[in-house]
Structure 1
Amino acid sequence: MQTTDIIRAEEASTTNTKLFRESANSLFNFMGKLDYIKKAINEMALFPRYVKEDVSYLHLKIKDENAINHIALPMLCFCDINLHQLKYHLGTYGHCGIGINKQWAIDKYGVQPVNYVSKDSPVMNDLSIGFNSFLKNSEEDNPDEGNALLTTLKYSKPVFGNMVEKEDGISNPNGESKPKNFYDEHEWRYIPPITPRSNFEFLNDGLPDQQILMETKRLNILSDQLDKMKLSLDNINYIFVKNDQDVRELSKFIMNCTHLEEFCKLSLLTKIINLEKLEEDV
């Protein structure tokens, strides 16, 4: 058998070129308000939050009794989408965003693509069986098994599911739950480290004492304690805003950031992209 065209993993990992050829070399985090971009630039950081996820497709139960339909995990989510495809993403997640260097995010923060799970697939069934087996037994008996399964769950998502409708990235408590093709997001996640005394790795609605913590107000309090993803000028590839008005407002804000050096301010200004203009040309 010819082996000359086979690229071994150890050879690929040492190559000098780490460009992604069929996906973006930036990861995009979109937000619903310009104020969120201002905060990110002012602190040169992105901020993980506790996010509710529907896991009813896994049929999880605690000790075969209380069903777990939703969990809340700390995460910072990115999409891995080429620029010409962003217009399909913006209506849901907002017209303000930051594009960061993908390889830097992998090397520095262990950012990882989500594993999409098809309904009734062997992967889904095995994850359900494994996690239910762990939940049925004491966590103290199998801590390593539990941690491994929880890590898998943190980076898992159904191909199709339901999502509460948002309006330009802003959560709408009264919004309808609508079918969603999650795979089109090509999601990557940063999962921040957790300090057990102050945070939770596996908040769920199957335990009565945790149900109150699943409320939005409580999750916001917990989210404020999470570690930031710290940025530098070299790691920011793009800053997205909705229109000309946002360009002017953000530019003025950047120039008034007295703690930033002049070169940093000017460099940040060159990274601003007006999405209304971009959408006209893609």
Structure 2
Amino acid sequence: MENGFWPRYCSEDIEWLIPKDFKNELEKQEEDNFWETLTKELIKYNINSIAYPMSCFCDIPLSKITAHTDFYGGFGLGMTKEWGIRKGLNPIFYLSDNSIIPNLIRNFILKNIPADAINLLISRELSPNIVLRLMKFLKPLRGKMKVNGKEVTKNFDEECEWRYVPTSDENNLFPNFLPNFLANNEELQDSNIVTKKVASLNFEPSDIKYIFVPEDSNIPTIINKINIIFTDYPEHERLLLLSKVISLDTIRKDF
């Protein structure tokens, strides 16, 4: 709460971009077109994800919050939607394998990405063009993600996700994206430190609707934290903020 929401580099699965059945057909082709060349390059360099700096939020009702916190953790903030819209957050777009949307996106990429895109990606010379900007807000209905170092499969659309994805086009203080096969831990940590300093998403106490803690026993600790962090705010604002603390145990029982 003290420094706002910190946009960290999160790995986004891009395997949906090239269907498995398309990969299987590659060996039968005698000549390579753009997509076949691109796919072979993706396979060659094991490019299956790209990391973008982001803060993620879920637009889900309070009655369903425990399913989310059981997966991601028991502490959290519930923000007003007005705050999210004001700060430039946007809902992401979920892709269904059998819909026409993935093919429309592939055709769009075909027209807008350079033929040597993979080499440019490897050399870090690929500019953050409209394709890469768009992909920040695309996600398959179902896919893989890492939780505590382990890869799990998840139905992403259940999260109704909104994203804040900062850019550094003007000042170049941090990378707009990191190809995961190139980024090492040190580079990732250094980039995250920069986004914390220059791109954190701030808020006021009035922007908070709920403060979630796992159990009632955690409430006194959070109250002490709030009194310390917001000590310079008027007392009535701090008291109002304290009234928004609620435990997930209470939600499970009462909602």
On whether the aligned pair clears a TM of 0.5, the verdict is yes
2:87 is equivalent to residue 105 of structure 1:
no
Question: Which residue of structure 2 lines up, in the alignment, with residue 237 of structure 1?
Answer: 209
* CA displacement 1:167-225 (0-9 Å, x = unmatched): xxxxx12x2x222110100111111232452212232146xxx3336975455345434
Distance 1:271 1:128, change over 3 A: same
2:233 is equivalent to residue 260 of structure 1:
yes
Q: Given residue 91 of structure 2, which amino acid in structure 1 is its aligned partner?
A: P
Q: Which has the higher contact order (CA 8 A, sep 6+)?
A: 2
Question: Which residue of structure 1 lines up, in the alignment, with residue 177 of structure 2?
Answer: 202
Q: Within 1, Cα distance between the matches of 2:187 and 2:142?
A: 25
Q: Which runs of 4+ in 1 moved over 4 A?
A: 60-63, 213-216
Match of 2:140 among 135, 154, 158: 158
Match of 1:69 among 48, 63, 68: 48
- Structure 1 segments unaligned to the other structure (5+ residues): 1-39, 140-144, 167-171
Cα deviation, residue 80, structure 1 = 0.7
Distance 1:214 1:136, change over 3 A: farther
| Alignment map for 1:71-90 (pairs within 5 Å) | 71-90=50-69
Q: Given residue 213 of structure 2, which amino acid in structure 1 is its aligned partner?
A: V
The two structures have a TM-score, normalised by structure 2, of: 0.77
Q: Within 2, Cα distance between the matches of 1:132 and 1:264?
A: 53
Q: Within 2, Cα distance between the matches of 1:214 and 1:118?
A: 35
| Alignment map for 1:214-225 (pairs within 5 Å) | 217-218=189-190, 220-225=192-197
Cα deviation, residue 103, structure 1 = 2.2
Cα deviation, residue 51, structure 1 = 0.7
Question: Which residue of structure 2 lines up, in the alignment, with residue 212 of structure 1?
Answer: 184
Distance 1:128 1:202, change over 3 A: farther
Cα deviation, residue 254, structure 1 = 1.9
- Structure 2 segments unaligned to the other structure (5+ residues): 20-34, 121-126
Residue identity (%): 31
Q: Within 2, Cα distance between the matches of 1:268 and 1:193?
A: 31
Number of corresponding residues? 224
Give the CA RMSD over aligned residues: 2.8
The two structures have a TM-score, normalised by structure 1, of: 0.70
Question: Which residue of structure 1 lines up, in the alignment, with residue 32 of structure 2?
Answer: none
Instruction: State whether residues 50 and 222 of structure 1, in contact with CA within 8 Å, keep that contact through their aligned partners in structure 2.
Output: no
Return the structure number with greater strand share: 1
